[in-house]
């Protein structure tokens, strides 16, 4: 602590003024050295020189971001290299492409002469990269099929489609670069704004390009009409009598239940048909598993408008009286 106090006592206005003078002299000397160095010739460095692709934008479109510069090694005056290194007032070097879809690169040797003239009075020593890669596709049109995207929450719980989805336009024309059109695989998926639909649907909806392709593709049609009908699968339960079939006299069920519980989902349009059908649970001795003397409980008759059929108990065991 005593040493710090001694240093503070030595700081006087005169010392502060002398320090400022020293700093200013140092800055002036450094500035003079830099300016003097920049005036010299025969410096060599690597710079990112700006480039610009020139092509018919009505017929071609880049599908990836185009390179904006090329690394080159240059030699010249310090001031010139300073401007090129920091791209001060640098006019981009124009690369003209008559058919950019023919190949996805250009060799730097092909542009070396014109590039040398463009960077004058600086001299081009070499190009660090041997080629410049790009992806520019020809713009074309394609007819694609419209499909409705039926995601996980498209319909409400226990609802089903009644028949086919009607779309007013099945084929539409899309314009864009060839490689992006190929990614569609001939189909454009559209998504409706609602989810968990529980009623018949009839809407005119705008056509939108999916987000990943939106900057590349354009649609010539603006909207389509979507129509479809739905029905509900109603959940229900019933108690069924148990019927034994083809059992010999010495065979019986272990812990035979008084009834079998049936749970199901039924098409709401067939509810009356279900109520008018006499159902029973059947255990068929001839269908037993001989290895463990078990037998499955089956629903009789089998009904095609029921889903998620479950019987409880689903399996029973057979015993014999002489065992």
| E strands, 42-104, in order | 43-54, 60-62, 69-76, 93-96
> Where does a domain end: 134, 150, 168?
134
pLDDT tens column, 198-242: 999 999 988 888 888 999 999 988 889 999 999 999 999 999 999
**Distance between CA atoms of residues 133 and 125, nearest Å:** 21
Residue % of the chain over a pLDDT of 70: 82
Considering the domain architecture, whether residues 122 and 185 belong to the same structural domain is answered as no
In a domain, 147, yes or no: yes
Burial of 30 (0-12, 13-18, 19+ CB in 10 A): exposed
Please report, for the domain that includes residue 227, its CATH number.
Answer: 2.170.120.40
Residue 253 maps to which CATH number?
2.170.120.30
Looking at the structure of the chain, the number of domains it has is 3
Six-digit token pair at 87?
Answer: 């791209």
What is the DSSP secondary-structure string of 99-118?
-TTS-SEEEHHHHHHHHHHH
Identify whether residues 226 and 148 lie together within a single domain: yes
In this structure, are residues 222 and 206 in contact, taking their beta carbons and an 8 Å threshold? yes
Token representation of residue 126: 């070499």
Would you call 199 helix, strand, or coil by DSSP?
coil
Residue with the bigger pLDDT between 98 and 32: it is 98
Report the C-alpha gap between 67 and 53 in whole angstroms: 9
Same domain, 210 and 247: no
Burial of 229 (0-12, 13-18, 19+ CB in 10 A): middle
Q: Is residue 22 part of a domain?
A: no
User: pLDDT digit string (tens) for 247-301?
Assistant: 999 999 998 899 999 999 999 999 999 999 999 999 999 999 999 999 999 999 9
Torsion of CA 33, 38, 43, 46, to 10 degrees: 110
Q: Residue 32: is its pLDDT beyond 50?
A: no
Q: pTM, whole model, 2 decimals?
A: 0.64
In a domain, 10, yes or no: no
Residues 147 and 116 in one domain: no
Residue 28 lies in a domain: no
Q: Is residue 38 part of a domain?
A: no
Dihedral of the alpha carbons of 181, 187, 188, 194, in degrees to the nearest 10: -160
Residue 313 resides in a domain:
yes
Residue 33 has pLDDT above 50, yes or no: no
On whether the CB atoms of residues 63 and 179 are closer than 8 A, the answer is yes
On whether both 209 and 268 belong to a single domain, the answer is no
Question: pLDDT for 104-118, tens place per residue?
Answer: 999 999 998 888 887
Strand, coil or helix: what is 16?
helix
Q: Which domain holds residue 164?
A: 140-232
Mean pLDDT of 121-147: 89
184, 215, 232 — which closes off a domain?
232
Decide which of 134, 161, 190 is a domain's last residue: 134
């Amino acid at each position: 602590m005593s040493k710090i106090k001694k240093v503070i006592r030595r700081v006087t206005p005169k010392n502060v003024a002398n320090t400022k003078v020293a700093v200013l002299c140092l800055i002036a000397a450094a500035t003079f050295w830099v300016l003097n160095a920049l005036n010299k010739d025969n410096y060599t460095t690597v710079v990112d020189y700006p480039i610009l692709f020139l092509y018919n934008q009505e017929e071609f479109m880049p599908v990836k971001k185009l390179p904006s510069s090329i690394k080159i090694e240059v030699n010249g005056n310090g001031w010139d290299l300073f401007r090129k290194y920091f791209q001060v007032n640098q006019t981009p070097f124009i690369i003209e492409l008559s058919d950019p879809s023919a190949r996805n690169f250009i060799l730097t040797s092909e542009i070396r002469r014109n590039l040398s003239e463009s960077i004058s009075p600086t001299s081009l020593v070499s190009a660090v990269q041997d080629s410049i890669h790009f992806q520019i596709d020809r713009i074309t049109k394609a007819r694609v099929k419209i499909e409705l995207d039926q995601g996980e929450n498209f319909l409400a719980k226990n609802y089903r489609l009644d028949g086919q989805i009607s779309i007013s336009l099945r084929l539409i024309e899309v314009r864009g670069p060839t490689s992006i059109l190929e990614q569609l695989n001939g189909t454009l998926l559209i998504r409706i704004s609602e989810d968990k639909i529980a009623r018949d649907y009839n809407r005119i909806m705008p056509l939108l390009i999916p987000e990943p392709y939106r900057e590349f593709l354009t649609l010539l049609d603006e909207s389509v009409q979507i129509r479809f009908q739905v029905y509900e699968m109603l959940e229900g339960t019933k108690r069924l009598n148990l019927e034994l079939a083809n059992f010999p006299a010495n065979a019986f069920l272990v812990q035979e239940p008084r009834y079998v519980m049936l749970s199901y989902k039924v098409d709401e349009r067939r509810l009356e048909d279900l109520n008018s059908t006499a159902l029973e649970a059947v255990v068929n001795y001839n269908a037993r598993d001989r290895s463990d003397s078990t037998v499955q409980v089956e629903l009789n008759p089998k009904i095609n408008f029921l889903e998620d059929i479950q019987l409880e108990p689903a399996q029973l065991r057979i015993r014999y009286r002489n065992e």
